[in-house]
Structures are given as C-alpha cells and as structure tokens.
Amino acid sequence: MRGLGVVGCRRLGLAGSLGIGAGGWVAGRLPVHDPWGWWTERGPAVTTAGTVLAYAGLTALVVAWWAYGRAGASVRHTLVTLAWWVAPLLLVPPLYSADVYSYVAQGAMVLEGHDVYSQGPSVLDPAGFAGDAAASVGGHWTDTPAPYGPFFLLLARGAAALTGGTLVPAVLVLRLVAVAALLLIVWAVRRLAREYGADESGALRLAALNPLLLIHVVGGVHNDGLMAGLALAGAVCALRGRWVLGAALIGLAMMVKSPAGLALLFVGVVVGRSSAGSPARRIVRGAFGPGLVAAATVLLVSVVSGTGFGWLHTQGVAAAIHTWLSVSSDLGAGLGALAHLVAGADQDTVKSAVQLLGLAAAGALIGRLGWRSATGRLDPVLALGLALTALVVLSPMVQPWYVLWGVPFVAVRACRGRAGRRLAVLSAALVYETHPSGSTPAVGFAVAGAVAVAGMLLLRREAAADRTGSEGGGGIGVPGPRRAGTVRDEVRTGAAPA
C-alpha cells in the first residue's frame, strides 16, 4: 500500500466512491415511489450488479483511506481528497439506511401541526404532502415518535417546506445539511488540532476522511454528523475562553441527539480549571455554568420551535429495537433465553436488567473519565471522545455510525495513539456491517469481523516494521510529530493518548 503515494490513494479512493455511488443508485435504499423517476427499481439483475459494485467500491475506498494514513499527505491535500471522495455521493439515493425518509416525514408532520413526539409518520396522508417519504419509512419507524430534538426538527421542517415535501429534493436538501455538518467537523478538528499543536492532517484523516463517516453521514444523511459537528464547535469555543457560546452550541447539539450532553461534563472541566478565583468558585462555575447556558438554549429553542418538550420522553424509543452490535442487548437476550429455559423467567425482564447494567457500567466509566479529567490526569477532549465511545459500546441500541460520536474528539488527541488506531480499525470494519439498501445480512457481520481481525494484525505488522525502520513513518499506527504546548496547556494538563 505504501507504493500508492498520496496521488494514487486519492485516485483509488475516488474510484471507490464512484463505485459506491453508481452501485448505490440501483442498490441503495430506494423510496417506495419517486415522482421524479430518479431513484427507482431497475430489476433484480441490475440490483445485484449494483450491490457488487458498491461493495467493491467500498473496499477500494477503505484500502485507499488506510494507505493514505501512511502516505504523509499535507492538510491541503487531505482537504482536496475529501472533496474528491465526497462528490460522487452527493446526488445518489440514501445509502445504508432509510432514516432520512423519517426526517423528511417528521419535518412535514411539524409543518402540518402534528405532534411528532406522540405520533409517527403514518399520520401523514399517503397521497398528500410528503406522502412518498412517509411510505418509504422503515416498517418499525412508521408509528414511532421522533427521538430527535427540536433543533433538528426545525431543519427537517425547513427542508419539507422548501421543497413542498417532494421526496428527491427534500432528501437532497438534508444531504446539504449533512455536508455542512461535515464542513463544521473539518473546521472544528483543525482548530482543536492547532490548539493542541497536534497532527492536523492525521486528525482530519481519522475524523473527516473516514469511510464510515462518508457513507453514513453523506451517503446515509444521518444527523449524527450534525450532532458531532456542533459539539466539536462547542469544545473549540470553550478552549478559546468563549465557554458561553460553546455551551450554547452543545445545547443545540443536544437538540439534535441527546448524547451530546456528555460534552457539558468535560467543557465544565475546562471552564473550572481556566477560571480565576478561589477553588470553590472555580468548581461551582465549571459544574453549573455550562449546564445552565445549555439548559437556557434548550428551553428557548423548544419554545420557539413549537414542538415542545416531548422529545425528553422519546429518547428511549430506539432501545426497543434489537441491534446485534449491542453487547448488552446480545448478552441480555442470551441470558434471558437461558433463564427462561432453566427457571421460566421472563426473557424481556432479564434482557432489560442486563441493558440497565450496561448503561450503569457506561456511567461508571464516564464518571471515572470525568474525574481523571478534572484532576488533570487526562485531557478533557480525549476524555470526552472516550466517554462517548464507552456510551456507544455499552448502549442497548448500537448502529455502526454511532461510533462517529467519539471519533473526532479522539482523532484530535490520539489519531496515532492506541485509541485512534483501534477506532480506525473499527471504522474500517463497520462499513461492511450494513447492506447498501440498509439491511443487515449475516454476511455483513462476518466480513466486518474478518476485517477487524485483519486490521489489528496489520497494525501490529506496521508497528513492528516502523520500530525496525523498514518502513517510513506517518502511518495510522505511528506516533505523529509533536510541537511545544500552547498557552492553554494549563487547562489540558496530563493529556496522554490512550
């Protein structure tokens, strides 16, 4: 892979992205009905050929991305490469998920005055406004209330209003929102890397050029990119002393998806440690200041949006779906079946108990990371990335793109450290878990597992080669250059890549 060079990697990745886009045009998550005739079924033979092409393109993209990590590209080259790899995905139908149809339908519900937090898209008239989007929503979600906050629903409402609820343009408008979120991630990662004197190009490769992000945020139009981008921007502002603005941005991120609220804990650490005055005053300011600002932001937007506070009660609706990536759900289902067989216990009760234990373990890990950050033994930004990753791993409902919550924060502080290397392998593996149409076939899990094992073995081989000097530096698993600390290092004492 080393012989590809940065130009070869860029071209190989572009070929891969083109393959994903072309294959996805016929094998992606096509709507039930497209009045424009863009995204329609072409027959089983064409769909099969498109699926093969999409998987081949995905593999080429992953190989190019991995090799790019060792090619020593500049920041400018990385940004241009990102544009090349994103471009083929801009006009394709939704890939790997039908969630964007839910977004459009929920935006139409807000526009028509329905309560999105007590009803699902099935309340929309199939022959009326946004009826095509509602009909294309995945089966379980048709009658499921929205788990998203008012800020995102305002954006979805705007997309529905701007396009008259017409399916293709509404999806493309939300894809523009996703691309804007990607640009926000790029901006924030670059600023954070500069604050820390970190490897800017390496951070961008893991955080923004990541194939998992490209296929699920740009291709799949998931709003997780927007949540991450706003939280990252909040962290940038907090590190630069503008913590009120930072907390407000995190409040907006929470009103896309609530897990962004974890950022308040670590921004509070930054605020407390950078404040003047007595220790007690610093603790109080850090513990309550960002939270109060975020709460005020949530209150204001919830009132202005007109959707109310029902979103606070729908955060657990996704947990009803069993996803095989959730360790706690899998373990709970297995133990529940065993307990039912042996003692006649209720399987769902056992499963729920195990899921709660998983969340409790996640809470304990997050608390430990917060404490280590507050006592100066772990950098707050890295701690936040690890905390979000722990929450995902131990959550009762896990999707591949959830990993992207913590990746950008880890990328800034440890893109070439142990945590960054493992997240790179995990990202490369998880792209295979989902079929372009959004289904999750068993073969996807098998391929993802094989790629994960191969990736870890490759990391060991590359690390051994670099230690003996037989390969050049600059790889994903190779320590990157360090610069002298910035003036804000006092706030970030004890930052060590995990």
**Would you state the pLDDT for residue 479?**
36
- Is the pLDDT at 291 greater than 60, yes or no? yes
Residue 3 pLDDT class (50, 70, 90 cuts): low
**Mean per-residue pLDDT for 81-91?**
97
Backbone region of residue 164 per phi and psi (left: phi > 0; alpha: psi in -120 to 50; beta: other values): left
Question: Other C-beta atoms within 10 Å of 413: how many?
Answer: 28
Query: What band does 311 get if pLDDT is binned at 50, 70 and 90?
Result: confident
Q: What percent of the chain has pLDDT over 70?
A: 92
> Where does the pLDDT of residue 88 fall: very low under 50, low under 70, confident under 90, or very high at 90 and above?
very high
Tokens of 459: 């990391």
| DSSP 8-class letter at 215 | I
**Residue 326, Ramachandran bin (φ over 0: left; ψ between -120 and 50: alpha; else beta):** beta
Tokens representing 419 are: 């945590």
> Chain-wide mean pLDDT for the chain?
88
7: pLDDT confidence band, cut at 50, 70 and 90? very high
All residues at 6 or more sequence positions from 100 whose CB lies less than 8 Å from its CB, including other chains: 94, 171, 174, 175, 220, 221, 222
Asked if 84 contacts 10 with a C-beta cutoff of 8 angstroms, the reply is yes
Distance of CA 281 to the CA centre of its chain: 35
The token pair that represents 160 in the structure block? 């529905």
Contact 260, 231 (CB under 8 A): yes
Q: Are 87 and 175 in contact (CB under 8 A)?
A: no
Residues 6+ apart with CB under 8 A from 177: 155, 159, 223, 226
Residues 317-340: pLDDT tens digits? 766 777 888 999 999 999 999 998
pLDDT of residue 297: 96
Calculate helix-pair angle for 150-163, 167-196, nearest 10 degrees: 140
**pLDDT by residue (tens digit) across 457-476?**
988 887 777 677 644 444 44
Compute the distance between CA of residue 33 and CA of residue 28 in angstroms, rounded to an integer: 14
| Average pLDDT estimate for 388-413 | 94
Half-sphere exposure of 333 (CA within 13 A, CB side): 12
Distance CA(293)–CA(296), nearest Å, equals 5
Q: How far is it, in rounded angstroms, from Cα 30 to Cα 23?
A: 12
What tokens were used for 185?
């991630």
Model pLDDT, residue 100? 96
In SS3 terms, 352-375 reads as: HHHHHHHHHHHHHHHHHHHHHHHC
Q: Tens digits of per-residue pLDDT, 154-183?
A: 999 999 999 998 999 999 999 999 999 999
Whole-structure pTM over 0.85, yes or no? yes
Q: Between these two residues, 4 and 195, which has the higher pLDDT value? A: 195
Check pLDDT > 80 for residue 278: no
